[in-house]
Amino acid sequence: MDNLSFESISIDNADAFFKNDLKVDILRLDKISPIVSGNKWFKLRYHLERARSKGCNTLVTFGGAWSNHILATSSVCEAEGFTAVGIIRGEKPTLLSPTLTAAQERGMQLVFISRSDYADKFIPEEYDNSNTYIINDGGFGETGAKGAATILTYSDSSYTHICCAVGTGTMMAGIINACAINQQVIGIQVLKNHPELGSMIQSLVIDHGKKWNLVHDYHFGGYAKYNAALLAFMNEFYTQTHIPSDFVYTAKLFYAVKQLANTQFFPGKSKLLIIHSGGLQGNQSLPPGTLIF
């Protein structure tokens, strides 16, 4: 069973790395657990409540071979006594990824479906009944955003900007909903070619007076794509701050904030909070020795 340590969450100062007369703090949600790190528990918390109140004992969700969401779902289901089913995109490989192996070890049943069935959100018949509670691919939706909003209980309204990585946009929407009116939320998009993302986030935003913007230029070629510069940055960032990052989400976030800081995107004396949303387990898909941490 994974022990989640919410007491370990800290706010670490990183002014020295980001420079440019900015105050920069990093909210270390990665410290919750090496396995179920980051934002995923927050996104799942109210789903568990709803599943329970509907009398469902099985949670079904979707993801790829390296999905942080799949692994987190397997872990919380094990802890809370739900049966977990992971619908996985693509053919069953001869060797499971470490992520899927870990999910299976936590009792999740893995069901592999073709990419076209996956795109149609096909649910195998045996799981399509009133005992099952279904969570969207990547946990997108209002219930996830409501949970993500509680991330800001670890913060305060003194920050002028809150920066986070954006996949489905659920976490960002929650943060927009929870932030104060004087704060601005900056989301770094890790997917390429996702023109609907802004309107999807908008659909989850409750108070339309909040300030937020999506930055599209730091996806490094697309979801889970990377290059030598990003890997070098991760090692450099670790050397200077002792903070590990993951190449899918948080490395792109820290890289983007550093570039934006260098181009005076943030007015002088801004006070930034960067959300370290975890995801470190995904680095296992990199060739051994790539990272120094």
Ligand X SMILES: *Cc1c(COP(=O)(O)O)cnc(C)c1O
Residue 271 Cβ, how far from ligand X at the closest point, in Å? Answer: 22
Residue 168 Cβ, how far from ligand X at the closest point, in Å? Answer: 3
Q: Name which of 126 and 217 has its Cβ closer to ligand X.
A: 217
- Cα(26)–Cα(33) distance, integer angstroms: 17
Residue 214 Cβ, how far from ligand X at the closest point, in Å? Answer: 11
Q: Rounded to 5 degrees, what are φ and ψ at 68? A: -65, -35
Q: Name which of 40 and 106 has its Cβ closer to ligand X.
A: 40
Q: Name which of 169 and 244 has its Cβ closer to ligand X.
A: 169
Residue 126 Cβ, how far from ligand X at the closest point, in Å? Answer: 28
Q: Name which of 212 and 268 has its Cβ closer to ligand X.
A: 212
Q: Which residue is nearest to ligand X (CB)?
A: 279
Q: Rounded to 5 degrees, what are φ and ψ at 13? A: -80, 135
Residue 253 Cβ, how far from ligand X at the closest point, in Å? Answer: 8
Site residues for ligand X per CB under 6 A: 38-40, 68-69, 138, 165-172, 246, 249-250, 277-279
Contacts of 115 (CB under 8 A, 6+ apart): 89, 90
Q: Name which of 64 and 169 has its Cβ closer to ligand X.
A: 169
